Amino acid sequence: MPKRSHTLGMSQLELLISLSIMGLIAVLLANVLNFSRMTNERAQEFSSEAGLFITRGSLRQWAEDAPITYSNKSVPGYFQGDKTDLQFHTLTTSDTFWGGTLTKVHLYEDGETLNVTLVGVETQSRDPLQVTRLLSTDLLSLRISYFGTKQRDPEARWHDNWEEATSLPGLIKVEWKNKSSASPPLILHPAKRDRQAVLSLGNVLPRH
């Protein structure tokens, strides 16, 4: 009877060990790929959240840079707003838009997104430029309020709209709700820079 060779083929024990090792490698590889996917998704979410946060700060700055006067002409007429739409002009000093002319800022809702669109002149080429940024991607509701004194108001109060041709509101409150999370109200100070300059100038002028 011929002897069985121990050098050919694999025993059942060796086969089981090989399959176990291969299974372990497959599990480790799947965990690594899943972790990589989760990390990438989280990075994208963080990038999106950071972009929304930056837009909040930019909108606040654009409102503060809105001029009270421009080229010896009254600018408040360039401002109008209601409960879901706000438009004003600013003298932005960003690298994108040229600060030598007015840039229009438009805050509005479009379906489930809350957008801020800027229309102005590009810094380098002086060509017309339009840029849209996001404040929310899962918008549920929006409300904009305006604090100030209109012509027939005995004192300053909150309004649902502002169409005064002779004055800007003192404050603008932008409130919105998202489907996934709550956002704190955004308070804007129109023409804050010019108002502070006027107050500072008044303090240094001699009084008679």
Residues 89 and 91: their CA atoms lie apart, in Å, by 7
Query: Does residue 144 contact residue 173 with C-beta atoms inside 8 Å?
Result: yes
Distance CA(150)–CA(154), nearest Å, equals: 8
Produce one character per residue of 139-163: b if its CB has 16 or more CB atoms within 10 Å, e if not.
Answer: beebebbbebebeeeeeeeebeebe
Average confidence (pLDDT) over 12-30: 83
- 43 assigned to some structural domain: no
User: Where in the sequence is the domain holding 64, given as residue range(s)?
Assistant: 52-204
Q: For the chain, give the mean pLDDT.
A: 82
The alpha carbon of 10 is separated from its chain's Cα centroid by a whole number of angstroms, namely 64
Whether the CB-CB separation of 190 and 173 falls below 8 Å is answered with no
Q: Is 40 among the domain residues? A: no
pTM for this entry: 0.72
Among candidates 158, 184, 182, which has minimal Cα distance to 171?
158
Q: Number of folded domains in the chain?
A: 1
**Taking the mean position of all CA atoms in its chain, how far away is CA 144?**
16
Q: Is residue 6 part of a domain?
A: no
Predicted confidence band at 88 (pLDDT cuts at 50, 70, 90)?
A: very high
Q: Which residues pair with 182 in a beta bridge?
A: 177
The 10s digit of each residue's pLDDT in 73-86 is 555 557 889 999 99
Express each pLDDT in 32-49 by its tens digit.
Answer: 877 777 766 665 555 556
Q: Is residue 114 assigned to a domain?
A: yes
Give CA separation, 85 vs 2, 51, 126, 143, in Å.
Answer: 94, 21, 28, 9
Torsion (CA) 61, 191, 69, 200 in degrees, nearest 10: -110
For residue 44, being part of any structural domain is answered with: no
Length of the chain in terms of residues written: 208
